[in-house]
Homo-oligomer: A and B are copies of this chain.
Amino acid sequence: MQFFSDNAAPVHPALLAAMEAANGVDTAYDGDALSQGLDARFSALFERDVAVIWTSTGTSANALALALLCPPYGGVLTHEEAHIVADECGAVELQTGGARLMTCRAAGGKLSAQGLRERMAQVRRDVHQVQPHAVSLTNATEYGRVYTPDELAAIGAFCREHGLALHMDGARFANAIASRDCAPADVTWRAGVDALSFGFTKNGALNAEALVLFDPARADEARRRRKRAGHLLSKGRFIAAQLHAMLEGELWLANARAANAAATILAQAAGERLLHPVEANELFLRLSADEAARLRAQGFAFYDWGAGAARLVTSWHQGEAEVAPLAAALSAL
C-alpha cells in the first residue's frame, strides 16, 4: 500500500471516460470547444471573471504564474521549503528570466503577514539589492497545513501595502478547500490572490492543471508564455476534458474530501507522533528507523523525512479499506 505521494495515484475513471469522449477530431491547441469553455466554468466556480490557462504540470503553472507577476530583476518572497524552491529545479528562474527566490522560514511551511514583514525589512531599497515583486505561498502547504481566510487576507493586505503580487501554489488547493469548507473565492481573490496554480493531477487527473488568473487581462501574455514554454499541447482538448470532468458534480471536492478523510483516520492513529496538525492529506510523524522498518515489512510504502521522521500522503482513491490496516499498524507500534 502506497503512501509515497498523491502524484502517483491513479487517474479517476470519470476523467479517462471524458478523455475518450474528447477523441473526435477537433481544432488543435486550445481552439476546441472544451478549452474555450473553461473560462466560463471556472468563473462560475470563483464567482467572478477569471481566465484559465490549462497546462500539464504544477511546475509549469507555478513558473508561468510567477513570470507574469515578477520581472527578471525582481524577487519572489516564499517559504524556504516551498515546492518552487525545493522541487522544481529552477523552473521559476527559467520562466522569469532569472528572478530570485527570497526565502523565509516558518513552521509548517506556512507564511504569515508578520513573517513577510520582517523578511521585507531586511531588504535595502537601493539598486544593489534584488527587490521583491511577488509573494508565493502554498495552500495546503508542503506540510499539509491550511491557511484560514483571515490569514490570507492579512498576507494580501501586506502585499498591496508593498506593491507585491500574490501567487498561490494550489497543488493541493482542493484539499485546502475541503479542509476549510469555504468558498474558493474566500481564499483566493477576496484575500488578494492574483494567480492560482489550481492542481488537479494529484487529485485524480492525468496531466491537468489550471492556472487561474483573477485579472483576465493577463491572459494574452500567459498564453504566449505557455506556448513559448512548450506547454501548448496540440491536442489540448484532452486536458480541457479532464478539467470539465473534475468540475462536473464537484468531483474535485469529493476526491479531496476522500483523501483528507483518509489522512484524518491515520492522524488519529498517529496521535502524539504527529509533527504538524493534519489539516489536509499529508502526515508528518516521528518514527524511528526501527518503527519505519516494521511498517514497511507490513507492505506500507512512504518516505523518510530526515532522521526519525516520515511523511505519509493519502490520495483520492484510498478508502477506509486501504487506510484502516495502516491505522492499525500505527496504533500497534
Contact = CB atoms under 8 A, between A and B. Distances in A.
Contact of A56 (B11, B98, B233): B233
Interface in A46-75: 55-61, 63-64, 71-73, 75
Given A24-B10, A93-B99, A60 B129 contact: no
Task: Report the copy number of this chain in the oligomer.
Answer: 4
Interface string A152-194: 0000000000000000000000000000000000000000000
Given A72-B94, A89-B227, A231-B60, A26 B55 contact: no
A238 B201 CA distance: 12
* A: interface residue count bin: 35 or more
A2 interface: yes
Nearest to A11: B23
Nearest to A101: B100
A7 B234 contact: yes
A324 interface: no
B87 A93 contact: no
Contacts of A225: 73
Interface string A198-229: 00011000110000000000000101111111
A75 B85 CA distance: 12
Contacts of A96: 98
Contact of A73 (B10, B87, B224): B224
- A contact face: mostly helix, strand, loop, or mixed: loop
A286 interface: no
Contacts of A4: 27-28
B100 A230 contact: no
A131 interface: yes
A121 B300 CA distance: 27
Contact of A230 (B28, B60, B93, B131): B60
26 contacts: A7-B235, A8-B25, A8-B234, A9-B25, A11-B238, A16-B20, A56-B207, A57-B233, A58-B234, A63-B230, A72-B93, A72-B94, A73-B224, A73-B225, A86-B129, A88-B227, A89-B128, A90-B98, A90-B100, A91-B228, A94-B95, A201-B234, A206-B238, A207-B233, A229-B229, A229-B230
